[in-house]
């Protein structure tokens, strides 16, 4: 049995492991895919205090080396459940189970999908969730962005510099994102707003060739031919597998304050999967430190 | 891992007598770099499969030919045909499953 199991090897989870090891507690990090988390997708971090520019890959490999150097153990397993087993917590995974005195859930968030048929098959063949990652494949092509928040607006601005034409599809009249971004988009001759409309069908053979959009007011359908569809309709926190133990808000975020405590004694949450107003590296790592410190305190009082 | 170009693609991939796992990647792609050590380890441990690397920035014709529009993108070839692909950051277990096809 470990003292602490951390679920998720992103910035929050790896920071929790560093703090737990510094307190001489044994710690096992369970990571479903590969360490690093969302930040792997950015070639340039410019707002984490210490360096003006660092790539997401360099950032996470250095944090991982730091955690491993302090003696944190890692296992590449996906956590599928959490339950009480005797006097410990049991984290169930796709390969079995692990026991610990305390558990820190640092599972972050994933891209929200449109939920349309064929969407999964077309990822990398016309459907994308990351404009800065995949935009280069659409130089001088026609693309669309779906969404109404700042991510969608920034994606559309980014793509307007590369693509021949950018449609911005949003289900309402107005945008949740900043007005300055909307104004900038209105000045771009190659950006067309498709408002009060939702994407209702992906048209594809081997790859995406068009989308059908349905007008939410009168139900009329329009087909837009394009090469790429960039989906920016928000993120989903990865808390579903633990919802029998921790309380979630309507959007699925784990309800916990700055001390990262959940209602279940010995279970803590850290990072982008927690209710909070700012989801960035600096707040994810802060949560990791806090959750580990509270977990150590919890174990000391057992 | 052997780097493949448009010039060597036919001989190294399409005409290979072994199945080939082609890793479409780029230097600026963090998830690609995160997968590299795993691919290198599996390449050494799996003599029955040839692992090759394709830099999409230099080889845009190859990525166009194979409709690669997001990286990392792993494509498994057998007898000159694509049999399977996996797009996005992929776990070691899923790569093993892909090459066990
Ligand atoms: C394109 C992009 C650019 C960004 N740029 C910046 C920036 O410049 N500056 C900044 O401060 N922030 C930036 N962010 C935000 C930042 O990446 C996140 O706030 C941060 O990564 C959150 O860390 P986390 O550890 O909470 O979650 P994540 O990074 O999401 O990591 C969670 C980890 O948990 C794993 N996991 C999930 N479920 C399970 C499970 N059931 N079992 C096991 N493992 C699991 C995942 O595989 C993942 O590795 C950016 C985000 C994106 C997408």
State how far the Cα of A79 lies from the Cα of A93, in Å rounded to an integer: 4
- State if residue A279 touches ligand 1 by the CB under 6 angstroms criterion: yes
Which domains does chain B show, CATH number per domain?
2-100 (3.40.30.10)
Q: What is the mean pLDDT of residues A96-104?
A: 97
Q: Is B29 a catalytic residue?
A: yes
**A134, A155, A272, A287: which is the annotated catalytic residue?**
A134
φ and ψ at residue A100, rounded to 5 degrees: -155, 160
Q: What distance in Å separates the CA atoms of residue B2 and residue A106, rounded to the nearest whole number?
A: 37
Locus of tokens 């309507």: A250
For the Cβ of A111 lying below 6 angstroms from any atom of ligand 1, the answer is no
Nearest CA to ligand 1 atom 29: A37
DSSP element (H, E) containing B55: strand B50-55
Measured between alpha carbons, how far is residue B1 from residues A131, B18, B43, B83 in Å?
29, 15, 7, 20
CA atoms of B98 and A230, how far apart (whole Å) = 27
- In this structure, what token pair is assigned to residue A127? 């459907």
Name the strand (E) or helix (H) holding B98: helix B92-99
Take residue A96 and report the two structure tokens written for it: 């079995």
Angle at B78 between CA B27 and CA B95, to 5 degrees: 50
> What CA–CA distance (Å, rounded) separates A5 from A54?
29
To the nearest whole Å, the CA of B18 is away from the closest chain A CA by 26
Cα angle vertex A149, ends A147, A154, to 5°?
Answer: 90
B32 is catalytic: yes
CATH number for the region A113-231 comes to 3.50.50.60
Q: Is the pLDDT score of A241 beyond 90?
A: yes
Length of chain B: 101
Asked if A43 has any chain B CB less than 8 Å from its own CB, the reply is: yes
Atom of ligand 1 nearest to the CA of A48: 11
DSSP, res A112? P
Tell me how far CA of residue B51 lies from CA of A233, B27, B55, in angstroms.
36, 18, 14
* A231: confidence class by pLDDT, cuts 50, 70, 90: very high
Q: Is A174 on the interface with B (CB under 8 A)?
A: no
Q: A2-110+235-301 falls under which CATH superfamily?
A: FAD/NAD(P)-binding domain (3.50.50.60)
Q: Do A2-110+235-301 and A113-231 fold alike per CATH?
A: yes
Count the neighbouring beta carbons within 10 Å of the beta carbon of residue B23: 23
**Displacement of CA B14 from its chain's centroid (Å):** 13
pLDDT of amino acid B86:
95
pLDDT tops 90 at residue A257 = yes
* Residue A64 at interface with chain B, using a CB cutoff of 8 Å: no
Half-sphere exposure of A86 (CA within 13 A, CB side): 6
Residue B101 predicted with pLDDT over 90: no
Mean pLDDT for A76-100 is 97
DSSP H/E element including A216: none
Query: What does DSSP say about strands A221-225 and A109-111: parallel, antiparallel, or unpaired?
Result: unpaired
Which residue in B33, B35, B87 is closest to A123 by CB distance?
B87
Find the CB nearest B70 among A39, A56, A134: A134
**Which chain B residues are Cβ-neighbours of A123 within 8 angstroms?**
70, 87-88
CB contact under 8 Å between B70 and A138, yes or no, is no
Average pLDDT over residues A89-112: 97
Give distance in angstroms: CA of A108 to centre of ligand 1.
5
Q: Are the beta carbons of A145 and A167 closer than 8 angstroms?
A: yes
Comparing alpha-carbon positions, the chain B residue that sits nearest to A32 is B91
Q: DSSP per residue over A183-208, as a string? A: HHHHH-TTEEEEESEEEEEEEESSSE
- A103 pLDDT tier (thresholds 50, 70, 90): very high
A93 CB near a chain B CB, below 8 Å? no
Q: What are phi and psi of A83, to 5 degrees?
A: -150, 165
Confidence (pTM): 0.94
* Domain spans of chain A, in order of start: 2-110+235-301, 113-231
Question: How far does Cα A160 stand from its chain's mean position?
Answer: 24
**Mean pLDDT over each residue of chain A, to the nearest integer:** 96
Q: Nearest-CA distance from A124 to chain B in Å? A: 4
Residues B64-95 have pLDDT tens digits of 999 999 999 999 999 999 999 999 999 999 99
């Amino acid at each position: 049995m470990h003292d602490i199991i951390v679920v998720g090897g992103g910035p929050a989870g790896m920071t929790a492991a560093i703090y737990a090891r510094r307190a001489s507690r044994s710690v096992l990090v369970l990571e479903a895919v590969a360490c690093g988390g969302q930040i792997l997708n950015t070639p340039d971090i410019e707002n984490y205090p210490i360096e003006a520019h660092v790539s997401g890959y360099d950032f996470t490999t250095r944090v991982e080396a730091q955690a491993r150097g302090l003696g944190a153990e890692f296992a590449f397993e996906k956590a599928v459940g959490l339950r009480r087993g005797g006097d410990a917590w049991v984290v169930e995974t796709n390969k079995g189970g692990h026991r610990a005195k305390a558990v820190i859930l640092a599972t972050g968030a994933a891209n929200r999908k449109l939920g349309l048929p064929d969407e999964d098959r077309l990822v990398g063949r016309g459907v994308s969730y990351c404009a800065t990652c995949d935009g280069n494949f659409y130089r001088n092509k026609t693309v669309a962005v779906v969404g109404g928040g700042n991510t969608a607006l920034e994606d559309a601005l980014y793509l307007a510099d590369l693509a021949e034409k950018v449609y911005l599809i949003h289900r309402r009249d107005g945008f949740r994102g900043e007005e300055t971004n909307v104004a900038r988009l209105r000045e771009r001759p190659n950006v067309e707003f498709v408002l009060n409309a939702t994407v209702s069908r992906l048209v594809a053979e081997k790859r995406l060739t068009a989308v059908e959009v349905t007008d939410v007011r009168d139900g009329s359908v329009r087909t837009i031919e394009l090469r790429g569809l960039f989906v920016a309709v928000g993120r989903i926190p990865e808390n579903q597998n633990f919802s029998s133990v921790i309380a979630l808000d309507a959007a699925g975020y784990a309800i916990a304050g700055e001390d990262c405590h959940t209602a279940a004694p010995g279970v803590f949450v850290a990072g982008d999967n927690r209710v909070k107003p700012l989801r960035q590296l600096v707040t994810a790592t802060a949560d990791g430190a806090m959750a580990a410190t509270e977990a150590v305190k919890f174990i000391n009082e057992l | 891992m052997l780097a493949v170009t448009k010039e060597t693609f036919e001989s190294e991939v399409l005409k290979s007598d072994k199945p080939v796992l082609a890793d479409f990647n780029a230097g600026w792609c963090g998830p690609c770099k995160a997968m590299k050590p795993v691919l290198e380890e599996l390449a050494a441990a799996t003599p029955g499969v040839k692992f090759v690397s394709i830099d999409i920035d230099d080889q845009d014709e190859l990525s166009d030919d194979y409709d690669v529009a997001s990286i990392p993108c792993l494509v498994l070839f057998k007898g000159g045909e694509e049999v399977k692909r996996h797009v996005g950051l992929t776990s070691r277990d899923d790569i093993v499953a892909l090459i066990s096809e």
